Structure 1
């Protein structure tokens, strides 16, 4: 269902394959009864919807606007708009030349998609260590926030 949605929006096959991989990675964190699984699945599959128009950093905001225009529920729109790294503060967004909005993932499902996206490079799942090595240029503040996000979520991965 979501694959067709991404194709219709104009996402290329590589983006769709990436979204499928991220959605698969989120399932390991969805065993808890507090996780809204349908929201998590929709958000994971559509998190890169904005890549139908741009592959720049602003693809999250573009994707959130597209998702809203297509009638997606607010929870999905929030996941799409807040999935970059471990989130961006209003100030960080402005410094990066993005619209000055608070794009910090708050809801559990938003946080899971951001974390799972951090652990997928293309269609390959990578370790947290590989992600941190690739992100060192983003600075200490980002690395600490991404590391803490992983620490917060990893217990969910081990639920039975």
Structure 2
């Protein structure tokens, strides 16, 4: 079982990420690892853990829309692997198209997610926000998954806009299908 490396948590701290943001990143890493395990565990679990843990590194500088881009730049300077910095850069709204990036003032390029690890991290990030923000009344953590589509459609802060909402729903459906194909899904 892959665990979150305390050296990585310390690197977030030394990079200036706030205690609240580190707490969020640790929760996303734990949720990402749980989801990856429920999908069969056939992913690079170290990448899952590190990508999730570092996804908000850019919040050491800004909580704005550029935190993904800035985080990836910081990550490259810190020597993080490209697969980790890709997750950091692409996680904004779950992978922007060039047109969306331009509209948001980001460098114009395709931020589409290219693998299941990236999708698991983005999915876990949405779930952690839903579970811990206190906006939605939940029975338990699994309730956030069971009601994911309804929650995103009801609370715009989670779905953002129609394009992003549909992207998140697609990841939810893909990941839930992987979980259902795994006999250990109820762990």
If asked which structure has higher relative contact order (CA below 8 Å, sep 6+), I would say 1
Once the 2 structures are TM-superposed, how far is the Cα of residue 66 of structure 1 from its aligned partner? 0.6
Once the 2 structures are TM-superposed, how far is the Cα of residue 33 of structure 1 from its aligned partner? 4.1
Q: Which residue is 2:129 aligned to?
A: 121
Moved over 4 A (4+): none
Once the 2 structures are TM-superposed, how far is the Cα of residue 122 of structure 1 from its aligned partner? 8.0
Maintained 8 Å contact 2:25/2:53: yes
Q: Which residue is 2:175 aligned to?
A: 153
1:81-137 Cα distance to aligned partner (Å, 9 max, x none): 111222111110101111112111111111111111111228716822333422377
Pair 52,85 (structure 1): closer, same or farther in 2 beyond 3 Å:
same
Pair 117,81 (structure 1): closer, same or farther in 2 beyond 3 Å:
same
Q: Which residue is 1:18 aligned to?
A: 24
Once the 2 structures are TM-superposed, how far is the Cα of residue 16 of structure 1 from its aligned partner? 0.2
Match of 2:11 among 5, 11, 18: 5
Match of 1:139 among 161, 164, 176: 161
Tell me the distance in 2 between the aligned counterparts of 1:139 and 1:33.
Answer: 32
Maintained 8 Å contact 1:85/1:118: no
When the two structures are superposed, what TM-score results if normalisation uses the length of structure 2? 0.78
Q: What aligned pairs does 1:30-45 form with structure 2 within 5 A after superposition?
A: 30-31=36-37, 32-45=40-53
Pair 2,131 (structure 1): closer, same or farther in 2 beyond 3 Å:
farther
**Does structure 1 residue 101 correspond to structure 2 residue 101?**
no
Tell me the distance in 2 between the aligned counterparts of 1:122 and 1:58.
Answer: 22
Maintained 8 Å contact 2:16/2:60: yes
Long gaps (5+) in structure 1: none
Q: Which residue is 2:68 aligned to?
A: 60
Maintained 8 Å contact 1:63/1:81: yes
Maintained 8 Å contact 1:93/1:99: yes
Pair 90,25 (structure 1): closer, same or farther in 2 beyond 3 Å:
same
Maintained 8 Å contact 2:94/2:122: yes
